[in-house]
Amino acid sequence: MANTVAQDAFHHLIGDLRATHGDNLASVVLYGSAAAGDRIAQRSDYNLLIALRRITPEDLRLAQAPMREWQRLGHPLPVYFTVEELRDAADVFPIEFHQMERARKVLYGEDPFASLQFSDANLRHQTEYEFRSKLIQLRRLYISASMSAEKLNNLMSDSLTSFAVLFAAVLMLKGVEPPVLKRDCVRATVRLLKIDGEPFERIFELRERTLKPLTDTEANNLFAAYIGQIERVIEAVDAHGSQ
């Protein structure tokens, strides 16, 4: 989980949120890599969900002070939901809600996912949409990164983290319970779809800094192999929709 420094930051943030929102504050939930024990220092964010009993513009305006301090520490802004919205939106954001449900730690208040009813009616559509959107963005970013091995290594490392969340969705589509850790999700999907997992393994090693820096040629070759396997996963998701 989080280290002592992070625990202190959570403690202060929750104190600020309680002072700001009072009884309106229902829950503060840590989710994603840090909650799953999959966080890499300097590369992974602390993702928080804040549930209020009501959200008005005034409630958000009052949150400015605690959020300013949280961002000053280098963390992204939390996601704000009302308790009612969490119940109503589970079928609209199946990937995000499944991610939160699978890897979360309640830092304050009630567990909003304990009694949440999930619907996967839109899971395949959202999975394909997210995959194709991220692939388009990856191609765009490659144009400027392709001339620098360092930039390209960072692009692959950062993008694989986003894709790994979608790999969990692919497993759910196929009726397989996803592992908690990102790398395990990718490996399980590779086995299920019988695709080449080597590009993903090498990128994880780059991310964890256990692989020596690549030359420009090596980085571009790895990117080509990587994007080729992503395209194969998208084909499998698309084919699932016609089954």
In order, the DSSP letters of 89-113 are STTTSHHHHHHHHHSEEEEEE--TT
Residue whose C-alpha is closest to residue 28's, from 65, 57, 63: 63
d(CA 27, CA 115): 14
Share of the chain above pLDDT 70, in %: 93
pLDDT confidence of residue 1 = 44
* 3 state SS of 174: coil
Neighbours of 91 (CB within 10 A): 14
pLDDT tens per residue across span 108-127: 999 998 888 777 778 999 99
Burial class (CB in 10 A: 0-12, 13-18, 19+), 76: exposed
Quick: pLDDT tens for 176-220.
999 988 899 999 999 999 999 999 999 999 988 888 889 999 999
What confidence tens digit (pLDDT) does each residue in 51-79 have? 999 999 999 999 999 999 888 888 889 99
DSSP E strands: which ranges in 11-88? Answer: 25-31, 47-52, 79-82
Order of all β-strands in the sheet with 79-82: 79-82, 47-52, 25-31, 104-109
Residue corresponding to tokens 């765009």:
140
Neighbours of 6 (CB within 10 A): 16
User: Model-level pTM?
Assistant: 0.73
| Token duo for residue 191 | 């086995």
Delineate the domains of the chain, giving CATH numbers in brackets: 4-109 (3.30.460.10), 123-240 (1.20.120)
Contact (Cβ atoms closer than 8 angstroms) between residue 172 and residue 120: yes
Which residue do the tokens 């449900």 mark?
Answer: 101
CA trace torsion 217, 218, 224, 226 (10° rounding): -160
Query: In the block, which residue shows the tokens 């994007």?
Result: 227
Nearest to 75, CA basis, from 129, 132, 6, 157: 6
Measured CA to CA in angstroms, residue 20 lies from 15, 16, 69 at distances of 9, 6, 13
Cβ–Cβ under 8 Å, residues 167 and 187: no
